[in-house]
Amino acid sequence: MRPIDKFPVGQSITFEDGNAHIIRYKYKPYQSAKDPLCINFGQYCVYCEAPITYLRDLEVEHILPKDKNLGYSHLEYDWDNFLIACSTCNGRDNKYNIVAKPDECHYPHLNNTFLSLKYCKGGVVIVNPDLKGKSKLKACKLLELIGLDKTPVTSTQQDKRWEYRMKQWNVAERYKERYENGKLNLDCLMDYIKATGCWSIWFTIFEGHDEVRRRLIEDFPGTSSVCFDANNHYSPIERNPGQEDPV
Ligand SMILES: [Zn+2]
């Protein structure tokens, strides 16, 4: 899962139509935060990384559920409580009944979630087996929360995320071969990746091609560059070094 940097409240941004906007503490109704969130992270689900062709399919995602009484006020409208997700990742089947606070679950705007999860052949997602202790528990919670480990057997009829990842994994393997054979240049490769998403799959498969990894970090809005070591092939590194959970 691509780690991201969230705009702080007060930051000035520019919409595609040229209008300026300053990030606010509150967005009421919360749906009005959709445009600034898309400028922040691109038009991709922050969890499954699928691209959203039409903006109406992207939903403002509440990190802590807006309709549960958790002792917090105004969860519904707070910029700090927003991410952006597709309807499947934001849907009831996966996370409606799970409350995962940031101190017990990894999140892409707080942790290096590319270290939390591992993308394997066929687009299968597992918890990074190298994690230990609290990091491992929080990564497990993230996978449970979003359900990226759902298979054709455990998914609902509507949840085709596994299928999309499988297709993307297979395409990425073929494109890597074409790229290495000089049949595909970097700009064309990036155009394809930006149109079809699944950042983590491409970042995984193009290990060893630093120029591709660098473009993935630079070209996808909001990618947290501090999570990758530019002097060591853009390998993922700890986002919170020295803390109980360094990931
Ligand atoms: Zn999603």
71 pLDDT tier (thresholds 50, 70, 90):
low
Nearest Cα residue to 147 out of 158, 157, 161, 133: 161
Ligand 1 mean position, distance from CA 12 (Å) = 27
Ligand 1 ion local residues (Cβ < 5 A)? 45, 47-48, 86, 89
The three-class DSSP label of residue 17 is coil
Tokens of 29: 């109704």
Give the amino acid at 197. G
Report the C-alpha gap between 10 and 157 in whole angstroms. 42
pLDDT digits (tens, 9 = 90+) for 201-217: 999 999 999 999 999 99
Which residues are 77's β-sheet partners? Answer: none
Q: What DSSP designation does 229 have?
A: E
In three-state secondary structure terms, 83 is: strand
174 C-alpha to ligand 1 centroid (Å): 24
Q: 82-86 and 117-120 as β-strands: parallel, antiparallel, unpaired?
A: unpaired
C-alpha of residue 50 to centroid of ligand 1, in Å: 6
Give the pLDDT mean for 14-37. 95
Using the mean position of ligand 1's atoms as its centre, give its distance from the Cα of residue 180 in Å: 30
**What pTM did the predictor assign?**
0.94
C-alpha span between 56 and 59 (Å, rounded): 7
User: Is residue 218 pLDDT above 60, yes or no?
Assistant: yes
The tens digit of pLDDT for each residue in 156-167 reads 888 899 999 999
Ligand 1 centre and the CA of 20: distance in Å?
28
Record the tokens describing residue 94, joined without a space. 């996966």
Q: What is the DSSP letter of 32?
A: G
Question: Ligand 1 centroid to 18 CA: how many Å?
Answer: 28
- Across the range 106-123, mean pLDDT stands at 97
Segment holding 201, helix H or strand E: helix 199-205
User: What per-residue confidence (pLDDT) applies to 93?
Assistant: 58
Question: What does the block give as tokens for 66?
Answer: 């807006």
Q: Residues 6 or more apart from 101 whose CB is under 8 A from it?
A: 64
* Cα 231 to averaged position of ligand 1 atoms, centre (Å): 31
Q: How far is the CA of 88 from the centre of ligand 1 (A)?
A: 6
The residues spanned by each domain of the chain are 12-236
DSSP secondary-structure letter at 121? Answer: G
| Cα dihedral across residues 43, 45, 48, 54: positive or negative | negative
Give the model's confidence band at 59: pLDDT under 50 very low, under 70 low, under 90 confident, else very high: confident
How far apart are the C-alpha atoms of 238 and 245, rounded to whole Å?
Answer: 9
